[in-house]
Structure 1
Amino acid sequence: MALRHIATKNAPGAPIPGLFAQGVRAGPFLWTQGTLGALPDGTMVEGTIQDRTRQVIKNIEAVLSADEMTLKNVVKATIYIKNFDENFPLVNQVWEEMMPEPRPTRMSLGVAQLPANTDIEMAMIAYKV
Protein backbone atom coordinates (compact mmCIF):
# COMPACT_ATOMS: atom_id res chain seq x y z
CA MET A 1 0.00 0.00 0.00
CA ALA A 2 1.47 3.33 -1.05
CA LEU A 3 1.30 6.37 1.20
CA ARG A 4 0.20 9.62 -0.43
CA HIS A 5 0.79 13.10 0.99
CA ILE A 6 -2.22 15.41 0.91
CA ALA A 7 -1.55 19.14 0.70
CA THR A 8 -3.58 22.32 0.21
CA LYS A 9 -2.93 26.04 0.16
CA ASN A 10 -6.25 26.48 2.03
CA ALA A 11 -4.72 25.42 5.37
CA PRO A 12 -1.45 26.29 7.11
CA GLY A 13 1.54 24.25 6.02
CA ALA A 14 3.86 22.36 8.29
CA PRO A 15 5.79 24.56 10.71
CA ILE A 16 9.02 23.24 9.21
CA PRO A 17 8.46 22.69 5.47
CA GLY A 18 9.27 19.18 4.33
CA LEU A 19 9.29 17.81 7.87
CA PHE A 20 5.54 17.15 8.24
CA ALA A 21 2.66 16.56 5.85
CA GLN A 22 -0.73 18.26 6.24
CA GLY A 23 -2.26 14.86 5.66
CA VAL A 24 -1.25 11.33 4.72
CA ARG A 25 -3.54 8.93 2.89
CA ALA A 26 -3.00 5.21 3.44
CA GLY A 27 -5.61 3.00 1.84
CA PRO A 28 -9.05 4.21 2.88
CA PHE A 29 -7.68 6.30 5.79
CA LEU A 30 -6.41 9.88 5.92
CA TRP A 31 -4.49 11.17 8.95
CA THR A 32 -4.17 14.91 9.47
CA GLN A 33 -1.23 16.59 11.16
CA GLY A 34 -1.67 18.28 14.51
CA THR A 35 -3.44 21.45 13.44
CA LEU A 36 -3.51 24.84 15.16
CA GLY A 37 -5.94 27.76 14.92
CA ALA A 38 -3.93 29.62 12.31
CA LEU A 39 -4.99 31.12 8.99
CA PRO A 40 -3.62 29.55 5.79
CA ASP A 41 -0.77 32.10 5.82
CA GLY A 42 0.27 30.85 9.27
CA THR A 43 -1.01 33.86 11.24
CA MET A 44 -2.56 32.71 14.52
CA VAL A 45 -6.23 33.62 14.93
CA GLU A 46 -6.75 36.22 17.67
CA GLY A 47 -9.74 36.16 19.98
CA THR A 48 -11.13 33.29 22.02
CA ILE A 49 -10.41 29.59 22.12
CA GLN A 50 -13.73 29.14 20.32
CA ASP A 51 -12.40 31.29 17.44
CA ARG A 52 -9.23 29.21 17.23
CA THR A 53 -11.17 25.93 17.52
CA ARG A 54 -13.38 26.97 14.59
CA GLN A 55 -10.25 27.74 12.56
CA VAL A 56 -8.65 24.39 13.49
CA ILE A 57 -11.73 22.56 12.22
CA LYS A 58 -11.82 24.71 9.04
CA ASN A 59 -8.14 23.90 8.44
CA ILE A 60 -8.73 20.18 8.83
CA GLU A 61 -11.79 20.46 6.61
CA ALA A 62 -9.57 22.04 3.91
CA VAL A 63 -7.10 19.13 4.11
CA LEU A 64 -9.96 16.63 3.89
CA SER A 65 -11.39 18.50 0.91
CA ALA A 66 -8.03 18.25 -0.88
CA ASP A 67 -8.62 14.47 -0.85
CA GLU A 68 -12.35 14.70 -1.72
CA MET A 69 -13.52 14.11 1.84
CA THR A 70 -15.59 16.12 4.33
CA LEU A 71 -15.98 16.25 8.09
CA LYS A 72 -18.56 13.46 7.67
CA ASN A 73 -15.64 11.13 6.82
CA VAL A 74 -13.93 11.73 10.19
CA VAL A 75 -13.93 8.66 12.45
CA LYS A 76 -11.52 9.80 15.21
CA ALA A 77 -10.27 13.08 16.63
CA THR A 78 -7.59 13.85 19.18
CA ILE A 79 -7.74 17.27 20.84
CA TYR A 80 -5.06 18.88 23.00
CA ILE A 81 -6.32 21.72 25.21
CA LYS A 82 -4.44 24.13 27.49
CA ASN A 83 -6.25 25.15 30.70
CA PHE A 84 -8.44 22.08 30.29
CA ASP A 85 -10.96 22.73 33.07
CA GLU A 86 -11.73 26.20 31.74
CA ASN A 87 -11.52 25.52 28.00
CA PHE A 88 -13.00 22.01 27.61
CA PRO A 89 -16.64 23.21 27.71
CA LEU A 90 -15.84 26.01 25.23
CA VAL A 91 -14.25 23.57 22.78
CA ASN A 92 -17.30 21.31 23.16
CA GLN A 93 -19.59 24.20 22.13
CA VAL A 94 -17.73 24.58 18.83
CA TRP A 95 -17.54 20.80 18.37
CA GLU A 96 -21.33 20.56 18.60
CA GLU A 97 -21.72 23.52 16.23
CA MET A 98 -19.34 22.31 13.51
CA MET A 99 -19.08 18.52 13.58
CA PRO A 100 -21.83 16.70 11.69
CA GLU A 101 -23.81 13.77 13.05
CA PRO A 102 -22.94 11.05 13.66
CA ARG A 103 -19.97 12.60 15.42
CA PRO A 104 -16.65 10.72 15.44
CA THR A 105 -15.00 9.20 18.45
CA ARG A 106 -12.77 11.64 20.28
CA MET A 107 -10.02 11.85 22.85
CA SER A 108 -9.43 15.18 24.61
CA LEU A 109 -6.29 15.79 26.65
CA GLY A 110 -5.24 18.61 28.92
CA VAL A 111 -1.70 19.80 28.21
CA ALA A 112 0.63 22.37 29.75
CA GLN A 113 2.11 23.66 26.49
CA LEU A 114 1.35 23.68 22.77
CA PRO A 115 3.25 24.98 19.73
CA ALA A 116 3.07 28.72 18.97
CA ASN A 117 1.86 29.30 22.55
CA THR A 118 -1.70 28.46 21.49
CA ASP A 119 -4.43 26.79 23.52
CA ILE A 120 -5.83 24.21 21.09
CA GLU A 121 -4.42 21.60 18.70
CA MET A 122 -6.36 18.90 16.92
CA ALA A 123 -5.69 15.93 14.64
CA MET A 124 -8.27 13.76 12.89
CA ILE A 125 -8.48 10.46 11.10
CA ALA A 126 -10.93 10.13 8.21
CA TYR A 127 -12.13 7.07 6.31
CA LYS A 128 -13.30 6.80 2.71
CA VAL A 129 -13.72 3.69 0.63
Structure 2
Amino acid sequence: MKKIISTPHAPAAIGPYSQANLAKGILYVSGQIPADPETGKLMEGIEDSTHQVMKNLKAILEEAGMSFKNVVKATIFLKNMDDFAVMNGIYASYLEEGSYPARETVQVSCLPKNVDVEISMIAHQ
Protein backbone atom coordinates (compact mmCIF):
# COMPACT_ATOMS: atom_id res chain seq x y z
CA MET A 1 0.00 0.00 0.00
CA LYS A 2 1.27 3.46 -0.82
CA LYS A 3 0.67 6.85 0.70
CA ILE A 4 0.66 9.97 -1.47
CA ILE A 5 2.87 12.72 -0.06
CA SER A 6 1.93 16.28 -1.00
CA THR A 7 2.86 19.67 0.38
CA PRO A 8 2.04 23.23 -0.68
CA HIS A 9 5.68 24.07 0.12
CA ALA A 10 6.79 22.43 -3.14
CA PRO A 11 5.37 22.97 -6.63
CA ALA A 12 2.14 21.15 -7.41
CA ALA A 13 2.40 18.36 -9.94
CA ILE A 14 2.00 19.62 -13.52
CA GLY A 15 0.81 16.26 -14.84
CA PRO A 16 -0.61 12.90 -13.77
CA TYR A 17 1.88 12.20 -10.99
CA SER A 18 2.35 12.82 -7.26
CA GLN A 19 5.05 14.89 -5.60
CA ALA A 20 6.04 11.67 -3.82
CA ASN A 21 4.81 8.22 -2.87
CA LEU A 22 5.67 6.42 0.38
CA ALA A 23 5.60 2.63 0.13
CA LYS A 24 6.97 0.19 2.70
CA GLY A 25 9.18 2.85 4.27
CA ILE A 26 10.63 4.02 0.95
CA LEU A 27 9.86 7.50 -0.34
CA TYR A 28 9.94 7.99 -4.10
CA VAL A 29 10.17 11.71 -4.85
CA SER A 30 9.25 12.88 -8.34
CA GLY A 31 11.70 15.04 -10.23
CA GLN A 32 11.61 18.61 -9.01
CA ILE A 33 12.21 21.60 -11.22
CA PRO A 34 13.17 25.11 -10.03
CA ALA A 35 9.65 26.47 -9.60
CA ASP A 36 8.84 28.64 -6.61
CA PRO A 37 5.80 26.98 -5.00
CA GLU A 38 4.34 30.30 -3.83
CA THR A 39 4.54 32.21 -7.11
CA GLY A 40 4.99 29.48 -9.70
CA LYS A 41 7.90 31.49 -11.09
CA LEU A 42 10.76 29.49 -12.59
CA MET A 43 14.23 30.34 -11.33
CA GLU A 44 16.85 31.09 -13.96
CA GLY A 45 20.56 30.31 -13.94
CA ILE A 46 22.06 27.15 -12.50
CA GLU A 47 22.75 28.62 -9.04
CA ASP A 48 19.25 29.90 -8.27
CA SER A 49 17.73 26.90 -10.04
CA THR A 50 19.66 24.33 -8.00
CA HIS A 51 18.86 26.06 -4.72
CA GLN A 52 15.14 26.11 -5.57
CA VAL A 53 15.13 22.45 -6.59
CA MET A 54 16.83 21.47 -3.32
CA LYS A 55 14.35 23.58 -1.31
CA ASN A 56 11.47 21.84 -3.10
CA LEU A 57 12.96 18.42 -2.38
CA LYS A 58 13.54 19.36 1.27
CA ALA A 59 9.89 20.40 1.65
CA ILE A 60 8.67 17.08 0.30
CA LEU A 61 11.07 15.09 2.47
CA GLU A 62 9.95 17.04 5.55
CA GLU A 63 6.28 16.43 4.71
CA ALA A 64 7.10 12.71 4.85
CA GLY A 65 8.93 13.15 8.19
CA MET A 66 12.36 12.78 6.60
CA SER A 67 15.40 14.84 5.70
CA PHE A 68 18.28 14.67 3.25
CA LYS A 69 19.92 12.21 5.68
CA ASN A 70 17.26 9.67 4.63
CA VAL A 71 18.05 9.97 0.91
CA VAL A 72 19.65 6.83 -0.51
CA LYS A 73 19.54 7.70 -4.23
CA ALA A 74 19.40 10.85 -6.35
CA THR A 75 19.11 11.34 -10.08
CA ILE A 76 20.15 14.67 -11.54
CA PHE A 77 19.26 15.85 -15.02
CA LEU A 78 21.20 18.82 -16.41
CA LYS A 79 20.51 20.70 -19.61
CA ASN A 80 24.22 21.53 -19.83
CA MET A 81 26.97 19.41 -18.26
CA ASP A 82 29.13 22.56 -18.11
CA ASP A 83 26.90 23.49 -15.13
CA PHE A 84 27.94 20.37 -13.21
CA ALA A 85 30.55 21.94 -10.89
CA VAL A 86 28.25 24.77 -9.78
CA MET A 87 25.26 22.47 -9.34
CA ASN A 88 27.37 19.88 -7.50
CA GLY A 89 28.66 22.42 -4.98
CA ILE A 90 25.18 23.70 -4.20
CA TYR A 91 23.74 20.16 -4.05
CA ALA A 92 26.49 19.10 -1.61
CA SER A 93 25.78 22.11 0.64
CA TYR A 94 22.35 20.64 1.47
CA LEU A 95 23.76 17.24 2.42
CA GLU A 96 25.75 16.05 5.38
CA GLU A 97 29.20 14.72 4.57
CA GLY A 98 29.35 11.03 5.31
CA SER A 99 25.72 10.43 4.42
CA TYR A 100 25.81 11.20 0.70
CA PRO A 101 23.33 9.19 -1.37
CA ALA A 102 24.18 7.16 -4.43
CA ARG A 103 23.72 9.30 -7.53
CA GLU A 104 24.01 9.74 -11.24
CA THR A 105 24.02 12.94 -13.24
CA VAL A 106 23.12 13.01 -16.90
CA GLN A 107 22.88 15.71 -19.54
CA VAL A 108 19.59 15.79 -21.40
CA SER A 109 18.53 17.73 -24.46
CA CYS A 110 15.44 19.26 -22.84
CA LEU A 111 13.68 19.36 -19.47
CA PRO A 112 10.10 20.34 -18.57
CA LYS A 113 9.50 24.06 -19.09
CA ASN A 114 13.05 24.24 -20.52
CA VAL A 115 14.64 24.50 -17.04
CA ASP A 116 18.36 23.96 -16.39
CA VAL A 117 18.10 21.21 -13.76
CA GLU A 118 15.73 18.58 -12.41
CA ILE A 119 16.43 16.25 -9.47
CA SER A 120 14.54 13.22 -8.18
CA MET A 121 15.28 11.27 -5.01
CA ILE A 122 14.57 8.04 -3.20
CA ALA A 123 14.65 8.09 0.60
CA HIS A 124 14.26 5.45 3.30
CA GLN A 125 12.82 5.83 6.78
State the TM-score, normalizing by the size of structure 2.
Answer: 0.94
Unpaired segments ≥5 residues, structure 1: none
* Secondary structure of residue in 2 paired with 1:33: strand
Q: Separation in 2 of the partners of 1:122 and 1:27?
A: 22
Give the 5 Å matches for 1:49-68: 49-68=46-65
CA RMSD, Structure 1 to Structure 2 (Å): 0.9
Give, in whole Å, the separation in 2 of the partners of 1:59 and 1:95. 12
| Shift in Å, 1:99 | 1.5
Q: Identity across aligned pairs (percent)?
A: 38
Deviation at 1:4, TM superposition (A): 0.7
Indicate yes or no: 2:37 matched with 1:40.
Answer: yes
**Residues 1:95 and 2:91 are matched in the alignment:** yes
Q: Tell which deviates more after alignment, 28-37 or 93-102.
A: 93-102
How far off is 1:95 after superposition?
1.7
Q: Which amino acid aligns with 1:106?
A: R
Aligned partners of 1:11, 1:52: CA distance in 2, in Å?
Answer: 14
Partner of 1:72: 69
Residue 93 of structure 1 and its aligned partner are, at CA, apart by 1.1
Q: Classify the secondary structure of the residue corresponding to 1:103.
A: coil
Which AA in structure 2 matches 1:44?
A: L
The superposition leaves residues 62-85 of structure 1 with CA deviations (integer Å, 9 ceiling, x where unpaired) of 00111110111100000000111x
Q: Which runs of 5+ in 2 are unaligned?
A: none
Moved over 6 A (4+): none
Give the aligned length.
123
Give the partner amino acid of 1:100: E
